[in-house]
Structure 1
Amino acid sequence: MNKYNSPYTAAITGCSFLYYEFKRILPILMSADADQQLKEEVENNQILQINSRKARRTFVLEFKRRFASVPLHFWQAWQGWSEEGQRAGIFYAILKTYKLVFDFHFNVAIKRWNSVDHQLAKFDIMMEFNEIAAHDEFVDSWSDNTKDRCATAYLTILRQAGLMTEKTNELQSIHPDDSELEYYFRSGEEWFLEACFLYPYEINDIKAKLS
C-alpha cells in the first residue's frame, strides 16, 4: 500500500493544534478570495506572525484541509463559541481531517478513559502505531523518528484541546456548553461527544435538553 491509497498521513508533525493561529486565519479561510489572501499571507506574514515562510506555507495548507473537513456553517457557529467550545471544535475538525488522530483517539485514548487508569503515555500510542503499520505498508515505511513525532503531536493536540493535563498526562473530559454541542447532535455527529470523554449518561442528559 503506497501513500496514494493509504488513508494515513504524517502531516500533524508539521502542524499540531495551533488554536490562536487558526482563529486568526479563519476569516481569510471564509472569504470569497481565500486562495489569493492565503498566498499573500504566506509571503507577507501579516496575520500568522510566524517567522518561517516554510512553516507558514505548511500551516496554511493544513488549515485549509481542516477548514474543508466540515461544512461552512460549522465555522460560522464556531466563531461565537467559548474558548473551550472552540478548542473542542478544532479537535473535531482534526479528527475529521486525519485518520491517524482518529484511530489514536478511538483505539487508544477512549479505551484508556473507560479503564481504571486514565494516564496515557507515548508508549500506548506507539503500540497502536505497530498495529496500524502491520496493515499499512505506507505507515510501515515511516521512520521511527516520524512515528515518534506523530505520537508527540497527538499528545500535544490532546493537551491543547483540554483533554489531557499538562504535567501528569491524565486524561480529562471537556464540557462545552450544551448550545455548542447542539451542532454535533443536529449533524449526526454524536460520536464526537464520546470523543470529548463524556459518559453515556451525560450524553443522554444533553440530548434530553436539546430535544
Structure 2
Amino acid sequence: MPERSKYSCTLTGASFLFFELKQVVLLKEQGLQDSEIREKVRAENLFGYKVKSSIKRSLPSVLRRINALDDTLRQMVIEKSLETGKIINLYAIMKTDRLFFEFMNEVVRDKFERNDYHLDRKDVNVFITAKAEQDETVALWTEKTVDRLKQAYVKVLFDAGIVRDRKTGELNRILMDEELKRHLVHIGDIAYVKAMGEWVA
C-alpha cells in the first residue's frame, strides 16, 4: 500500500500521461538519470506539447511514476501490449497518489465486487466528502480544485479502460496480463491488483 503520504491533488494537472510515461521509460532504459531526462525532454520537446511550459507540469509526475516501477515493469511497458502498458501506468498512479489508490480500493473495487458496473458522480462526491471529513488537507481544497480532481479521476479511469463511457459512467473490467498479475503479487502488491477489480486466488 502507498506509504502514509499526504493526500494530494496533483492529478488535476497530471492525469493519465501514458504516452509521456512510455517516452521516459525508453530514456531510462538507455541509462539516463532523472536530471538528464528532464533536460532531454525539454530540449527536444519529446512530449510534443504545443506549449513547452506544459512539460514543467507533467514531467515531475511522470518521473515519480517511473521511479515507482521496478525493472520488470518498465520492460513490460516497452514490450507488452498497449492495454498492459496502460494498466502498469494505472498501477504507478496508485503507487504515487495515496488518495487515488484509496478511491480505487474503496470505490472501484467495491463496485466490481458487487457486480455494479456504473460509476455515478455521486460515488465520487461521497468519497471526496468523506475524506474531507477525515483529513484537514482535503478539507482545505477549494470547490474548484475538488471538481477538477473528480474530472481527473474519471478521465484516468477512462484512459485506463475501466470507465467505458464518461457520460454514463459505465464500468468495464480490465483483462490483466497473467505475467503482470503474477509479478505484482510476487512483489507484495496484491492490494493494487485487487483495487483494479482483479480477482486473486
Match in the other structure for 1:112: 111
Q: Distance in 2 between matches of 1:74 and 1:161?
A: 16
Check whether the contact 1:6–1:138 (CA below 8 A) recurs between aligned residues.
no
One-letter amino acid matched to 2:173: S
Check whether the contact 1:8–1:139 (CA below 8 A) recurs between aligned residues.
yes
Please give the residue correspondences for 1:191-210 in structure 2 after superposition, counting only pairs within 5 Å.
191-199=191-199, 203-204=200-201
Offset of 1:127 from its aligned partner?
1.1
Match in the other structure for 1:89: 88
Structure 1 unaligned regions, length at least 5: 205-211
One-letter amino acid matched to 1:55: S
Offset of 1:93 from its aligned partner?
0.5
Check whether the contact 2:104–2:196 (CA below 8 A) recurs between aligned residues.
no
SS of residue in 1 equivalent to 2:164? coil
One-letter amino acid matched to 1:181: K
Please give the residue correspondences for 1:144-155 in structure 2 after superposition, counting only pairs within 5 Å.
144-155=143-154
Match in the other structure for 2:185: 185
Check whether the contact 2:26–2:78 (CA below 8 A) recurs between aligned residues.
no
One-letter amino acid matched to 2:100: V
CA deviation digits over 1:101-137, x for unaligned, max 9?
A: 1111111122222235321022211111111111211
Match in the other structure for 2:32: 32
RMSD of the alignment, in Å?
1.9
Please give the residue correspondences for 1:1-211 in structure 2 after superposition, counting only pairs within 5 Å.
7-30=6-29, 31-45=31-45, 47-166=46-165, 167-199=167-199, 203-204=200-201
Shift in alpha-carbon separation, 1:179–1:6, aligned structure 2, 3 A = closer
Residue identity over aligned pairs, in percent, reads 24
Check whether the contact 1:122–1:155 (CA below 8 A) recurs between aligned residues.
no
Q: Distance in 1 between matches of 2:20 and 2:69?
A: 18
Q: Distance in 2 between matches of 1:33 and 1:113?
A: 39
Q: Distance in 2 between matches of 1:176 and 1:6?
A: 27
Q: Distance in 2 between matches of 1:18 and 1:6?
A: 22
Shift in alpha-carbon separation, 1:183–1:116, aligned structure 2, 3 A = closer
CA deviation digits over 1:171-197, x for unaligned, max 9?
A: 221113212322112212122322232
One-letter amino acid matched to 2:190: E
Q: Distance in 1 between matches of 2:116 and 2:176?
A: 24
For structure 1, which segment, 15-24 or 73-82, has the greater mean C-alpha deviation from structure 2 after superposition?
A: 73-82
Q: Greater CA radius of gyration, 1 or 2? A: 1
Q: TM-score, normalised by structure 1?
A: 0.84
Q: TM-score, normalised by structure 2?
A: 0.88
One-letter amino acid matched to 1:48: F
Shift in alpha-carbon separation, 1:130–1:83, aligned structure 2, 3 A = same
CA deviation digits over 1:139-188, x for unaligned, max 9?
A: 11111110111111111111111111125312221113212322112212
Q: Distance in 2 between matches of 1:24 and 1:172?
A: 27
Check whether the contact 2:76–2:85 (CA below 8 A) recurs between aligned residues.
no
Q: Distance in 2 between matches of 1:143 and 1:98?
A: 19
Moved over 6 A (4+): none
Check whether the contact 1:110–1:197 (CA below 8 A) recurs between aligned residues.
yes
Higher RCO by CA contacts (8 Å cutoff, separation 6 or greater):
2
